[in-house]
Structure 1
Amino acid sequence: MRYTFKIGDELHKVAPRSLADELVLTIGDAECRVEFEHGKGGRCNVTLDGKSYDYWMARDGDDIYIKMSGSYFKVAAIDPCAAAAGASAGAGAISAPMPGVVVEMLVREGDSVVDGDKLLTIESMKLQSTIRAACDGVVGRIHVSVGSEFNKDDVLVEFENDD
């Protein structure tokens, strides 16, 4: 299984697997053997392919803050289910959960949809995700088309108001 972590503004794909008593992580295209040692007060040690690093770690909800070698990093795990569902930009709008490109449009303006209907397929970092309707409604305005690139939080689809 692959996981996605956001470190600063960069997304990193990580695939863990174990070999006998070792943990091996594939990070991007590189593989490394990993050993963790958690100390008290947030002090930790990680050994990557035999090279040891001390760091301090603190959690705030799902976010992890790390201080290593005088630098600070915020690490956030990205839930693939939440990312694929899309984030709501406001009542009646679906925004992009991550930057990417539109691969397939599955609705048109004026179409009626119900909660869970597929609206469009996006691709981000070679991973395709389906954006689904978060409620029943009528598609009002579509802001993207096949091949369109978008940024995180850009509005993709708006729904008509039920005044």
Structure 2
Amino acid sequence: MRYTFKIGEELVKVAPRSMADELILAIGEQNCRVVFDHGREGRCTLTLDGRSYESWVARDGDDIYIKMASHYFKVTAVDPRAAASGASAGAGAISAPMPGVVVEVLVAEGDTVVEGDKLLTIESMKLQSTVRAACDGVVGRIHVSEGSEFNKDDVLVEIESE
């Protein structure tokens, strides 16, 4: 099975190759041996192909934030079933991944968007994240405005396929 992760603005395909004694992942075109030892308060050791990195990991919904070797990464698992169900339904309803508040609305009704475009900035548990278009189309209805509070699974934006 192949998974898609968004690292920064780049989509990366990852496929497990072996999980018997160790995890071997095909990341893009490269096979990597991965060992992930968890410690306290998000601290962990991440070993890639025998090279160890002291790291810190925090999770916010589907987003994983990693600090490794003085670099910060945001990794988001892309669920192909969610994107496919939104596209096949004609209107892609973008639902809230967690309760929170809208910080900024980045699109207007009638705007044309492509999959991955930024739609909203939201805040939950003092962490801000970006809500992105799950499919290509036209912004049909925006159900929230700046400062609006919402609950998990509330529809925030609807995208109509062209």
Q: Answer with 13-22 or 69-78: which moved more.
A: 13-22
| 1:68 matched residue in structure 2 | 68
Change (3 A) 1:3 1:80: same
Say whether the 8 Å CA contact 1:95–1:152 is kept in structure 2: no
* Distance (Å, rounded) in 2 between the aligned partners of 1:19 and 1:67: 25
Q: 5+ residue gaps in structure 2?
A: 95-107, 118-132, 139-160
The residue identity in structure 1 corresponding to 2:53 is: Y
TM superposition shift of 1:17: 2.9
Change (3 A) 1:37 1:43: same
| 1:45 matched residue in structure 2 | 45
The one-character-per-residue Cα deviations of 1:103-131 (angstroms, maximum 9, x if unpaired) are xxxxxxxxxxxxxxxxxxxxxxxxxxxxx
TM superposition shift of 1:88: 3.7
TM superposition shift of 1:19: 5.2
| 1:31 matched residue in structure 2 | 31
* Distance (Å, rounded) in 1 between the aligned partners of 2:58 and 2:19: 29
1:155 to 137, 143, 158: 137
SS at match of 1:83: helix
Say whether the 8 Å CA contact 2:65–2:73 is kept in structure 1: yes
| 1:11 matched residue in structure 2 | 11
TM superposition shift of 1:54: 1.2
Q: 5+ residue gaps in structure 1?
A: 100-150, 159-163
TM superposition shift of 1:97: 3.6
TM superposition shift of 1:152: 6.7
Say whether the 8 Å CA contact 1:83–1:98 is kept in structure 2: no
TM superposition shift of 1:20: 3.3
Q: Max radius of gyration: which structure?
A: 1
The residue identity in structure 2 corresponding to 1:28 is: G
The residue identity in structure 1 corresponding to 2:70 is: G
* Distance (Å, rounded) in 2 between the aligned partners of 1:61 and 1:9: 18
SS at match of 1:11: strand
Structure-to-structure mapping, 1:88-99, within 5 angstroms: 88=93, 96-98=114-116
SS at match of 1:40: coil
* Distance (Å, rounded) in 2 between the aligned partners of 1:63 and 1:152: 15
RMSD (Å) for aligned C-alpha atoms: 3.0
Percent identity between matched residues is 59
The residue identity in structure 1 corresponding to 2:137 is: V
| 1:55 matched residue in structure 2 | 55
